[in-house]
C-alpha cells in the first residue's frame, strides 16, 4: 500500500464549516463586485478598480478559500451572471419561466 | 299468437332501458373504466421503463459499468461483486470539490431518506473519488462524516480508479503525478448511476432532476425492475412481443 503513504502529506479537504465560510466570503466579495458593476473579477482592465473598492473583501475571500477554489469561483462568475441576465431578459420580455415538476430550478 | 305464449320482443324493449340505466350500473361502469385505464397506464409505464432499462443494458457487454477493484473508506476491498444483491446509486466526485459535489452529496442523503420514508426502498449509496492521489480512505471517511451516514466512499490506486471511471464513462482530468500538498481541481462529469441488484446499469440521473424528481425516477425504475431470469422467461413467453 505504498500508494497511500504519499497521500498522508496532502492537505485535508475543506469540511462543511470551512466550505460554508468560503462560500460566505465569496458572496460578500461578489456583492461588492455587483456594487461597482464588475462582472468578470479577472478582467485586467478593472484590476485597479477592484483592488481599490473590493480589496479587503478579495483578501478575505482568498484567505477563507483554497487557491484553486478562488480561481474556480472567479472564472465561474461571468457565466452565472450571463445566465442570470438571460433569465431576467426573458422575464422582461414577458416570457414565463416554466418550472418543470421534478426538475431542478 | 297462441294463448299463453309471451311476447318477448315487447318485454325486452320495455325493460332493457330501465335495467341498463340505473345509477348503480352507471357508477360501476365509470369505476371499472377509470380503474382499467389507470391499470393499463401503470403497466404501460412499467413496460416502457423495462424496455429502457433493457436498452441500457445493451446486448452482451454492458455499455455502462463493469468490473472494478477498489478500497472503501474503512480500508476494506470493494469490488463490483459487492454491488450484487442490492440496488446501488453511484456518484463520482472528489473531496476538494468547490461547490457541486457537496451539494449533490447532500441531495444524495435526501434521496436516500426520501426513498426509504416515502416508498420503503433501500439501496446502497457509493461515492467514488476521481482524485485517488489526494483522497485516501482516511480522507474520504473524514469528508463523508459531514454527509448521510449510509454513503460509502470508495477510492483506490490511480489505475484502478481510472479503469472504473472509464467503465462508467466518467470523464475526469486528475493529474497522475502531483506533488504532496499541491492544490488543484478535478474536472469530472456529474451523474448519479443507478445499478440493479445484479450489478447492471439501469439509469443515469443528471443535474436536471431535483431531489423529488430523482426520488420518483428511482422509485419507478426500482418498481419496474425484474431479475434477468424473469426477463428472459418473458421474452420467450406469450407476450414476448411486448418486450422486443
Provide the CATH number for the domain around residue B232: 3.40.30.10
C-alpha span between A60 and A63 (Å, rounded):
5
* Nearest chain B residue to A73, by CA: B98
Contact residues, chain A, for B98 at CB < 8 Å: 22, 65, 68-69, 72-73
Say whether B97 counts as a known binding-site residue: yes
**What pLDDT does residue A30 have?**
92
Q: Tally A–B CB contacts below 8 A.
A: 75
Residue A5 pLDDT more than 90? Answer: no
- Indicate the residue of B135, B158, B212 with minimum beta-carbon distance to A102: B212
User: Higher pLDDT residue, B21 or B95?
Assistant: B95
Q: What percent of chain B has pLDDT over 90?
A: 33
Per-residue pLDDT tens digits for B164-182: 988 888 877 777 777 766 7
Residue B8 pLDDT more than 90? Answer: no
The pTM score is 0.73
pLDDT band at B31 (very low <50, low <70, confident <90, very high): very high
**What pLDDT does residue A1 have?**
38
In whole angstroms, how large is the CA radius of gyration of chain B?
27
User: Higher pLDDT residue, B148 or B227?
Assistant: B148
CB B163 within 8 A of CB B130: no
The per-residue b/e assignment along A65-89, b for 16 or more CB within 10 angstroms, e otherwise, is bbeebbbbbbeebeeebeeeeeeee
Nearest residue to B194 (alpha-carbon basis) of B66, B72, B62, B91: B91
Mean local confidence (pLDDT), B154-163: 91
Cell, residue B81 = 461483486
Calculate how close chain B gets to A17, using CA atoms only, in Å. Answer: 9
pLDDT band at A31 (very low <50, low <70, confident <90, very high): very high
Residue B152 pLDDT more than 90? Answer: yes
Mean local confidence (pLDDT), B208-224: 89
Per-residue pLDDT tens digits for A36-89: 888 888 888 888 888 888 989 999 999 999 888 999 999 999 999 898 888 888
Q: How does the average pLDDT of chain B come out, rounded? A: 83
Number of domains chain B contains: 1
Query: Does A92 contact chain B (CB < 8 Å)?
Result: no
Contact residues, chain B, for A12 at CB < 8 Å: 139, 142
**What pLDDT does residue A10 have?**
47
Say whether B165 counts as a known binding-site residue: no
Say whether B96 counts as a known binding-site residue: no
What DSSP state is assigned to residue B61? S
> Across the interface, do B99 and A4 touch by the CB < 8 Å criterion?
no
* Structural domain containing residue B190: 1-244
Per-residue pLDDT tens digits for B55-78: 776 555 557 888 899 999 999 999
Candidates B69, B98, B111: best to mutate against A (most CBs of A within 10 A) is B98
**What pLDDT does residue A8 have?**
39
Amino acid at each position: 500500500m505504498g500508494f497511500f503513504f504519499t497521500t498522508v502529506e496532502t492537505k485535508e479537504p475543506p469540511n462543511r464549516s470551512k466550505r460554508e465560510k468560503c462560500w460566505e466570503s465569496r458572496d460578500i466579495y461578489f456583492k461588492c463586485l455587483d456594487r461597482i458593476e464588475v462582472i468578470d473579477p479577472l478582467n485586467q482592465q478593472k484590476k485597479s478598480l477592484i483592488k481599490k473598492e473590493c480589496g479587503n473583501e478579495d483578501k478575505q475571500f482568498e484567505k477563507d478559500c483554497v487557491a484553486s477554489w478562488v480561481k474556480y469561483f472567479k472564472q465561474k462568475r461571468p457565466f452565472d451572471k450571463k445566465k442570470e441576465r438571460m433569465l431576467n431578459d426573458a422575464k422582461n420580455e414577458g416570457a414565463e419561466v416554466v418550472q418543470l415538476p421534478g426538475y431542478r430550478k | 299468437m297462441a294463448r299463453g305464449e309471451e311476447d318477448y320482443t315487447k318485454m325486452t324493449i320495455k325493460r332493457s332501458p330501465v335495467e341498463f340505466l340505473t345509477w348503480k350500473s352507471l357508477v360501476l361502469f365509470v369505476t371499472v373504466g377509470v380503474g382499467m385505464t389507470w391499470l393499463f397506464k401503470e403497466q404501460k409505464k412499467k413496460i416502457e421503463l423495462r424496455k429502457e432499462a433493457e436498452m441500457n443494458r445493451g446486448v452482451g457487454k454492458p455499455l455502462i459499468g463493469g468490473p472494478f477493484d477498489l478500497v472503501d473508506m474503512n480500508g476494506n476491498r470493494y469490488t463490483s461483486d459487492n454491488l450484487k444483491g442490492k440496488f446501488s446509486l453511484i456518484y463520482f466526485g472528489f473531496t476538494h470539490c468547490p461547490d457541486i459535489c457537496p451539494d449533490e452529496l447532500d441531495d444524495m442523503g435526501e434521496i436516500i431518506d426520501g426513498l426509504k420514508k416515502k416508498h420503503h426502498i433501500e439501496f446502497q449509496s457509493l461515492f467514488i473519488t476521481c482524485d485517488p492521489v489526494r483522497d485516501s480512505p482516511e480522507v474520504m471517511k473524514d469528508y463523508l462524516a459531514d454527509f448521510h451516514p449510509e454513503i460509502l466512499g470508495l477510492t483506490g490506486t490511480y489505475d484502478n480508479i481510472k479503469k472504473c471511471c472509464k467503465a462508467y464513462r466518467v470523464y475526469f482530468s486528475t493529474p497522475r503525478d502531483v506533488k504532496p500538498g499541491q492544490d488543484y481541481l478535478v474536472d469530472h462529469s456529474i451523474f448519479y448511476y443507478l445499478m440493479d441488484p445484479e450489478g447492471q446499469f439501469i439509469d443515469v440521473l443528471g443535474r436536471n432532476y431535483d431531489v423529488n424528481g430523482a426520488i420518483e425516477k428511482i422509485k419507478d425504475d426500482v418498481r419496474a425492475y425484474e431479475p434477468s431470469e424473469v426477463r428472459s422467461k418473458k421474452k420467450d413467453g406469450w407476450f414476448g412481443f411486448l418486450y422486443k
